[in-house]
Amino acid sequence: MERRVKSVIVQKYGGTSVEAVSNIKGIARKVALEKAGGLDLVIVVSAMGDTTDELMKLADHITTRHHKRDLDMLLSTGEQVTVALLCMALREEGVTATGLTGWQAGISTTTDHGGASILSIDPERIQRELKMGNVVVVAGFQGITGKGDISTLGRGGSDTTAAALATRLGAERCEIYTDVEGVYTSDPRYVKKAVRISSLTYEEMILMARRGAGVLHPKAIEHAMTHNVPLVVRSSMSRVGGTWIHGAPGREVSHPVYGIVFDKGRFCYTLSGVPNRMEMKVIISSHLNSLDIEYDTLMEDREDTLSFLVAEADQELADPIFDSVGAIVRRERKATVTVVVRDENTYHVTLDTVRKILQEKGQAFHIIEDCTNHVTAVVEESHAIALTSLLHSAFGLDEVQTSEAAGVF
């Protein structure tokens, strides 16, 4: 019998949250209680623990020359295992549940295997299941192309699935459950005095995510932002705390710096002896843009030097571009450390402070150019964590309380 669906909550559980059967049973008990409380729930799940890595190892035993379509077919099975087990656990709790793969859930994507983007979602199947009173469990990270092929969404794909579904279903909110209690002023695994931030705007969270905060993928935030669906990042082990991500700015705070994040997965190309730097910059930027490679350029003291920073994952695509420019190119693994500022008026003061601190520590660094809402230093990979902790202390974030870190939603 069909019933009226009042409001939908989308929840996403990541790999660490579902890494063992005991975890999955715990999630089923939690979902059962929420369902009994009258919520209509769509649950998006990742593969269990290190399943995706283990599947990649299996593929490597066959060949290291992977066909991306084959890889998508293989890797998509990880999430499907979690879907089936959670549905079984929910039934044991007396909850009727329907498990759906990405394509059964109506998720259509581009044909970029391994890094596809969601084009559209047909919500009809999910809505029908909700009207029947079922909890719907959807495999994250996957969809189907126009050719009918299985596709995967790349890094952060389950986050993106959850946010996109929340947007399409007009959900009240999208809850992202992970192994930390929210978004912190820095990575709490490495910066022990990092503090949970209670509230961020979409724009603030996107910036932190792009600069190294791994708790959410930028694509997920962008999907939620398009229809102003609030995101909540919480621990799967506790309902305490959490960080709300939404469209309204927080209240005035005493600390304009609200985060120090780092990213060790960066690759730097430095061109020396460039006769016309601006012309070369335009040419290389055009090539990188044509391949959708995100990049940064660095401030340089010498007029014949030009440096670009790309994600290490894009190195294979970027190499031919720099090989073809006819200049001397130095390639180096680097890291970035970013001080994220809430008040753009304090950018230059923050920049001067970062420069002074790094110079006093004898650190070699470059600054990413064309920024106003963050100061990003490019440093040696081995120094990234220590410098993040140093700047976290220097900007007073060690003493900030959760209520001060950001406004309350």
Residue ranges of the annotated binding site for substrate are: 52, 79
Token reading at 311: 């994600």
Strands (E), 217-318: 231-235, 243-246, 257-272, 295-297, 306-311
Alpha-carbon dihedral sign for residues 124, 125, 127, 132: positive
Which residues define the annotated binding site for ATP?
A: 12-15, 178-179, 184, 189
Supply φ then ψ for residue 366, to 5 degrees: -130, 160
Round to whole Å and give the CA distance between 64 and 94.
45
- Binding residues, by number, are 12-15, 52, 79, 178-179, 184, 189
Cross-strand bridge partners of residue 178? 235
CB 192 within 8 A of CB 330: no
370 CB-side CA count, 13 A: 5
Report helix, strand or coil for 161.
Answer: helix
Structure tokens at 392: 């976290």
For CA atoms 136, 141, 142, 145, give the dihedral sign. Answer: positive
